Structure 1
Amino acid sequence: MSHPPQQPHGQYMPNGRPRPGAPTHVPDAPAFQSQPRFRDYGNPRAYDTSVRPTSGLTAARFGPAQIQRPAQAQPQSAWATQTRRVQQVEQEATKAPTTSILVWIALVMLGFALLLVLGYFFLDFVVTASSSPIWWPVAAFLALMSLIVISLVMLLADRWDPQPIPLLIIAIFWGAAVSAFGSYWINTFNSLIVYAITGSEPITNFFGPVISAPLVEESTKGLGLLLLLILARRYFNGPLDGLIYGALIGGGFAFTENIIYYTRGFEGAGVGGLVFLVMLRGVGNIFGHAIYTSATGIIMGYVARKWGTIPTFIAFIPALIPGMLMHAAWNLSATILPGGLVSLLLMYGTKAVIALVWLIVIGLLVWDESRLTRVRLGDYANQGWLTHEEVNMLATWSGRREGRRWAAQIGAKPIMKRFIRESADLASIRQRLLADGANPKVVETERQLLGRLTSNRQQLLAHAR
C-alpha cells in the first residue's frame, strides 16, 4: 500500500513564498505588518530558479537557500510614519566587506602592468618614429578622451546598484594592459605565420583583421571577465554587471589600441592623418570594443543570475561568439568595401544604429535590475525585515528620490544613501542564493547585510524622533 508523499516542513518555500495550503499569517509576526502579511511581488520568468534539475550542469551547487527570518519583531518603519518614536533595539550589525585583499593585489599589479605597456609603446615610438616624441602624449590624451566617455556612460548605467570602484578600475586596466598588449603580439605572430605559409600579402592582410583579431582580442578581453568573476563573484550577478565590466574592458583595450593607431596615423600623414583617425575611431566607432565585450558580459551575467557560478564558467566560450562575430563583421566591411565617402557613411551609419541599440539595451537592463530588486526585497518584506512601503521606496527611482529628500530634511541623507545601496546589494545576494544554493559564505554575507539593514532602519528612526 502506497503512502501519500510527505509535505516539506515549514510554511515558506526557498523563494520566500508560502507553501500551498500554509497560512498567510505567521504567529508572533511584527505588529506593524498589515494583514495579510504576504504580498506577491511576482517572479521574473527569466530568472526563475524554483524549478531546477537535481543533477547536471545547471543543478544548484548547494542545497536550497531558505530565506532568513528576523529573530525578533522589527520596529516600525521611520519612512512609513516619518514622525513615530520607537524605542531603538540594540543589535550588533557587522559591515559586510566589499572587496577582498586579492582585489587590491590585482589592482596594483594591473596598474603596474599598464605603466609598463604604455612605457613600451612610448619607447617604441621614440625609437622608430621620425616625429617628435611630444606627439605620443598628444595621441594618448586623445585616446583617453574616448575612454572617459565610455566610463561616464558606464557610471550612469551603474547608478542603480553601484559596483566597487576597484573592480571597475581592474576592468579598465585589464583591457588597456593585459588584453591590448597580449593581443598585439599574438596577432603579430599569427600574421607572420600566415605570411610564412602562404607568401601572400593580401591573404595576410585579410587574415589579420578578419580572423585573428576577433578571435584573439575577444578572447583576451573575455579573460578579464573571468578574472572579475573569480575575484568578486558577489558583484558579478546579472547581465547589467556583465555589460558594465565588459564595456570597461573594451574601453581600456580601445584606449591602448587607439594610441597605436593615432601615432601611426600621425607618422604617416601628419596632423591631418591623426585628426582623421580620431574622427573615425574615437568618435564614429567609440563604442566598438565596448559593445563587443559587453555582449560576452551580458551572457555571462545572465547565466550567473539564472543558473549560478559553475555554469557561468562553462558558458564562457559560447559567450564569446556574439562579440567575435560583430567584431569580424566590422573588420570585414572595412576590408572589402571600396574606399570613398559612400562606404564610410554606410559603415559608420550602421555603427551608429548599433550603438543606439546598445544604449537602449543598457536602459532595459537597468529597468530589469530595478524590477528584480523589488521582487527580492519583497521576499524580505514578506518575512518581516521591511515594510512593503519601504520596498517601494528602496526599489523604485521615484521612491529613492523621495526617500533621499525626506532623509535630507531630518539630517539623515548619508544613512538613507547607505540604506538604499546596501538594500540593493542584499537583493542581489538573495538572487545568488536562489541560483547557487545555500553557500555558507554567501549565507553569512546575507546575515551581515540583514544586520546592516536593521541598523540603517534604526538610525533613521533615531533621526526621525
Structure 2
Amino acid sequence: MSQPPYPPQGGQYMPNGRPRPGATQSAPGAPSFQQQPRYIDYGNPRAYDTSVRPASGLTAARFAPAQIQRPDQAQPQSAWSTQTRRVQEVSQNPTQLPAVSILVWISAIVLGFALLLVLGYFFLEFVLTASSSPVWWPVTAFLAGISLLVIALVMFLADRWDPQPFPLLLIAVFWGAAIAAFGSYWINSLNSLLVYMVTGSEAAMSFAGPVISAPLVEETTKGAGLLVLMLLARRYFNGPLDGLIYGSLIGGGFAFTENIIYYTRILEEAGGAGVLILFIMRGVLNIFGHAIYTACTGVIVGFVTRKWGTIMGLLVFIPALIPGMLLHAAWNFTAGLGGGMAMTVLMYGTKMVVSFIFLLVIIALIWDESRLTRVRLGDYANQGWLTHEEVDMLATWKGGREGKRWAAQIGAKPVMKRFIRESADLASIRQRLLADGANPKVVQIERNLLQRLTSNRQELLSHAR
C-alpha cells in the first residue's frame, strides 16, 4: 500500500489525522495544505515493497526510516487540475537542483581521451602489421559506429521516461569502448597464451579463449563500469531500467571497438567482401549481443539497489555477472561448433529471437518505471504537494502528452517538460529513501526537488493567467 499521510503536528488534529473534537476549524480561505489532503491508495508494487524487511543484516536499511516530507506553506493551485488564473503566494527562492558533480565531467573527459588513445593504438597496429591500405581502417570504424549508433538510439528511446544526464551516458559508452575493450583484449590474449603454454594444444587454446576466458573477463570488465557509474552518481542509478540503459551502452561501446578489431582482421583474409559479410553477421544480426550480456548485469544490480539499497546493489555484483557470462559463453561455444549453413541459420535465428525478447524487456521495464512513478508521486499527493489529477498527468504517457499539448497552448511547454522530468526524478528519490533510509544527503535532494516542484507549479499557473 502507499504510505499513509502523516498528520500535521499540533493540537488541531488527532494522531489518526482526523480533526480533534472541539478544535477550532480552519478559517475561510486558509491554505488547503493545513487541512487533511484527500487520500488515495495507489497500491505498492510487490517487487519494490520495502515495508517488510529485517531490522539487521545485509538487507536492512542503512539509515532510519525516511518519513515523507510535508509542505510547510501553502502550495500553488494546480493549473493542470483547475486551469485557474489565480495564483497563491509561495516561496520565490527555491533551492537550485544540484547538477552532476564535476567529478562526473572529469571522468567523461578522461575516458574520452582514453578512447582516442585506444583507437589510435589499434590504428597504428593496423598500419604497421596489415598489408591493406590504411584508408580501410576508417571504413571499418564507420561500420562499427553504425551498430553503436543504433544501440544508442534504442537506449535514447528507452531513456525518455526519466532521462539520465548526458555525461553519464558518455561514461558508459567510453568505458565499454576504451577500458573494458582494451583491458579484455590484453587479458584474453594473455590467458590464451597461458593455456597454450600449459597444454601445448591449439585446440585447447581455441576453446578456452572464446568459451571460458572471454565471457569471464569481458563481462567483468564491462560490469565494472556499472559499479563506477553507481559510485559516481548513485542518484541516477535507481532501478532496473537505469541498469539496462547503462549496461547496454557499455556493451555497445565494447562491441564498437571489438568490431573494428574483427573487421580489420577479416579484411586481411577475405578483403572488402569479407568485411561486408562480417558486418551483416556481427553488426546487424548480432547487433545487441554485448549489449544484452551487460544489460543482464545492469538489470539485476538495478533491481536489487531499488529494492534493498546501495550496499546490497554493490554486493550482488558478482552473482549478477553470471547470466551475461552464461549467455556469452553459450554463443561463443555454439559459434565454434561449425555445422555449415544450417547451424548458422539456427544460431542467428535464435539470436534474433533473443534480441526481440530484449526489446520486449525494455518495454516492460518502461511500464514498470511509470507504474512506480505513479505510486511514489501518489505519496506526495497524499501529503498535499500535488493533486491526484497531476499524478495521473505526470506518471502516464497519455497524461504527459496531454499535459504538454495543453502547456503548448499557453506557451509553457518547456515548463511542463521540466515539471514531468523532475517529478520522475522525485519519484526515484522517494524510492531510494525507502530502500536506504533517511540518508541526510538524499533527504536534502528530496527537499530541493520538492521546492522545484512548487516552483514548476507556480510557473505553470503564471502562464495560465
Tell whether the structures are fold-level matches, with TM greater than 0.5: yes
2:356 counterpart residue number: 356
* Structure 1 residues 18-97: aligned runs within 5 Å: 22-23=16-17, 30-31=31-32, 37-97=38-98
Preserved contact between residue 162 and residue 421 of structure 2 (Cα < 8 Å): yes
- Offset of residue 36 of structure 1: 6.7
What amino acid maps onto 1:404 in structure 2? K
- Counterpart secondary structure, 1:354: helix
C-alpha distance in structure 1 between counterparts of 2:2 and 2:159, whole Å: 29
1:448 counterpart residue number: 448
Distance 1:66 1:275, change over 3 A: same
Distance 1:309 1:25, change over 3 A: farther
C-alpha distance in structure 2 between counterparts of 1:14 and 1:38, whole Å: 10
C-alpha distance in structure 2 between counterparts of 1:238 and 1:266, whole Å: 42
2:186 counterpart residue number: 185
Preserved contact between residue 37 and residue 384 of structure 2 (Cα < 8 Å): no
1:258 counterpart residue number: 259
What amino acid maps onto 2:172 in structure 1? A
1:132 counterpart residue number: 133
Preserved contact between residue 291 and residue 358 of structure 1 (Cα < 8 Å): yes
1:369 counterpart residue number: 369
- Offset of residue 32 of structure 1: 8.0
Q: Which moved more, 1:168-177 or 1:67-76?
A: 67-76
- Offset of residue 272 of structure 1: 1.2
- Counterpart secondary structure, 1:336: coil
* Structure 1 residues 197-346: aligned runs within 5 Å: 197-338=198-339, 340-346=340-346
C-alpha distance in structure 2 between counterparts of 1:393 and 1:64, whole Å: 29
C-alpha distance in structure 2 between counterparts of 1:363 and 1:448, whole Å: 31
Preserved contact between residue 33 and residue 73 of structure 2 (Cα < 8 Å): no
Preserved contact between residue 48 and residue 306 of structure 1 (Cα < 8 Å): yes
What amino acid maps onto 1:140 in structure 2? A
- Offset of residue 89 of structure 1: 2.2
Preserved contact between residue 252 and residue 288 of structure 2 (Cα < 8 Å): yes
Preserved contact between residue 24 and residue 38 of structure 1 (Cα < 8 Å): no
Q: Which moved more, 1:92-101 or 1:346-355?
A: 92-101
What amino acid maps onto 2:383 in structure 1? Q
1:381 counterpart residue number: 381
- Counterpart secondary structure, 1:71: coil
C-alpha distance in structure 1 between counterparts of 2:67 and 2:427, whole Å: 14
| Residue 173 of structure 2 corresponds to residue 172 of structure 1 | yes
Q: Which moved more, 1:86-95 or 1:22-31?
A: 22-31
1:99 counterpart residue number: 100
Calculate the TM-score normalised by the size of structure 1: 0.94
Deviations for 1:287-323, whole angstroms, at most 9, x for unmatched residues? 0000000000000000110000001110000000000
Preserved contact between residue 96 and residue 449 of structure 1 (Cα < 8 Å): yes
- Counterpart secondary structure, 1:213: helix
- Offset of residue 51 of structure 1: 1.2
C-alpha distance in structure 2 between counterparts of 1:435 and 1:131, whole Å: 56
Distance 1:145 1:24, change over 3 A: farther
- Offset of residue 136 of structure 1: 0.2
What amino acid maps onto 2:17 in structure 1? P
Q: Which moved more, 1:26-35 or 1:89-98?
A: 26-35
1:5 counterpart residue number: none
* Structure 1 residues 139-154: aligned runs within 5 Å: 139-154=140-155
2:10 counterpart residue number: none
Report how many residues are paired. 452
Deviations for 1:168-196, whole angstroms, at most 9, x for unmatched residues? 01000000000000000000000000000
1:436 counterpart residue number: 436
C-alpha distance in structure 2 between counterparts of 1:403 and 1:460, whole Å: 11
- Offset of residue 92 of structure 1: 1.7
Preserved contact between residue 43 and residue 375 of structure 1 (Cα < 8 Å): yes
Distance 1:65 1:34, change over 3 A: closer
Preserved contact between residue 14 and residue 67 of structure 1 (Cα < 8 Å): no
Preserved contact between residue 14 and residue 434 of structure 1 (Cα < 8 Å): no
C-alpha distance in structure 1 between counterparts of 2:224 and 2:5, whole Å: 38
- Counterpart secondary structure, 1:312: helix
Percent identical residues: 73
What amino acid maps onto 1:460 in structure 2? L
Preserved contact between residue 243 and residue 297 of structure 1 (Cα < 8 Å): yes
1:9 counterpart residue number: none
- Offset of residue 91 of structure 1: 3.2
Deviations for 1:22-54, whole angstroms, at most 9, x for unmatched residues? 236798695389987110000000000011211
What amino acid maps onto 1:413 in structure 2? K
C-alpha distance in structure 1 between counterparts of 2:314 and 2:31, whole Å: 42
- Counterpart secondary structure, 1:160: coil
Q: Which moved more, 1:84-93 or 1:216-225?
A: 84-93
Gaps of at least 5 residues in structure 2 are 8-13
C-alpha distance in structure 1 between counterparts of 2:419 and 2:431, whole Å: 19
Deviations for 1:400-443, whole angstroms, at most 9, x for unmatched residues? 00110111111111111110000000000000000000000000
| Residue 427 of structure 2 corresponds to residue 427 of structure 1 | yes
- Offset of residue 94 of structure 1: 1.5
Preserved contact between residue 33 and residue 71 of structure 2 (Cα < 8 Å): no
C-alpha distance in structure 1 between counterparts of 2:3 and 2:65, whole Å: 9
CA RMSD for the aligned pairs?
1.9
Distance 1:320 1:302, change over 3 A: same
What amino acid maps onto 1:240 in structure 2? L
Preserved contact between residue 88 and residue 462 of structure 1 (Cα < 8 Å): no
| Deviating 4+ runs (over 4 angstroms) | 16-21, 24-30, 32-36
Q: Which moved more, 1:149-158 or 1:24-33?
A: 24-33
- Offset of residue 17 of structure 1: 4.9
1:196 counterpart residue number: 197
2:395 counterpart residue number: 395
Deviations for 1:75-120, whole angstroms, at most 9, x for unmatched residues? 2111111133123423321121130011011001100100000000
- Counterpart secondary structure, 2:336: helix
Calculate the TM-score normalised by the size of structure 2: 0.94
